[in-house]
Amino acid sequence: MAKSQTTFSKKEKEKKRLQKRREKEEKRAQRKLDNNKGKSLDDMIAYVDEFGNIVDTPQDPEEREEINPEDISVSGYQAPETKVSNIRKGTMTYYNEDKGYGFIHDQKSQQRVFAHVNNFTEQFKEGDFLYYEIQTSPKGDSAINVRRTEEMPEE
């Protein structure tokens, strides 16, 4: 007579597999019981108390304090305001017609100011004498309202 083909380790593996299956079925049944579907909106609402803690009961209306929204300050990045200064004078030192931008050499401060074709009132070329205004943005100064003059403007 032949011996049984099942060994001790095979029996143990089978027991573990059946145990895992039972545990899985129990978890599935528990999830069905704990299902949140079908709850009312009132059961799902959470409130925040005066200390910032999440609670499940609303605050007493007599204890509420009215807050003016203008008194709330929000910290973080605030973009600097764009400023427009007086009319400046300068010369177009570089202009790339294909890309639509150039640089103006400011007559007074001797600085180079970026100028884009969207801020031009007409077409320009290198060497033109210009009147323009400076606009300060987060990226730096740029020329706006750029217009041509016939000769080098006097200071």
Q: What is the 3-state secondary structure (H, E, C) of 37-51?
A: CCCCHHHHCCEECCC
Domain spans in the chain, listed from the N-terminal domain onward: 83-149
Task: For domain 83-149, give the CATH number.
Answer: 2.40.50.140
Higher pLDDT, 13 or 33: 13
The residue that leads in pLDDT, 6 or 154, is 6
pLDDT at 2 over 70: no
Span 65-73, mean pLDDT? 82
Three-class DSSP category at 71: helix
Q: What percent of the chain has pLDDT over 70?
A: 85
> What torsion, rounded to 10 degrees, do the Cα atoms 34, 40, 44, 47 define?
-150
| Separation CA 144–CA 130 (nearest Å) | 11
90-136: pLDDT as tens digits: 998 888 888 888 999 988 888 888 888 888 888 878 888 888 888 88
* Cα 134 from Cα 107, distance rounded (Å): 13
pTM of the model: 0.43
CB atoms within 10 A of CB 117: 15
pLDDT at 39 over 80: no
